[in-house]
Amino acid sequence: MKNVQISFDENLLNAVDHFAESSRLSRSAIIRQAVKNWLRQKKIKEFEDQWIKGLEMNPDDSKNTEAWIKAQQWED
């Protein structure tokens, strides 16, 4: 792993540290998981936006149904 330096406002850092202590996780572990979750949500949002745009352009195009069904099975 690589070390990076990031800045937090004091309230956010206190909240992270409080959660880290109570859950027995490191600050780094919490931040890594938060970033992973954020990236996953961005990918989901991007896919949904593209899907909606496709439906707006071709509302009767049923060939994409299989892609939507597969997309609902997001992995951790």
Instruction: Give per-residue pLDDT as tens, 20-72.
Output: 999 999 999 999 999 999 999 999 999 989 888 887 887 766 666 666 666 66
The domain tally of the chain equals 1
Q: Which domain holds residue 48?
A: 10-71
The predicted pLDDT at position 65 comes to 67
Is residue 40 domain-resident? yes
Is residue 29 domain-resident? yes
What are the b/e assignments for 61-70, b being 16+ CB within 10 Å?
A: eeeeeeeeee
Is residue 76 domain-resident? no
The predicted pLDDT at position 58 comes to 75
Is residue 1 domain-resident? no
pTM of the model: 0.66
Strands (E), 13-55: none
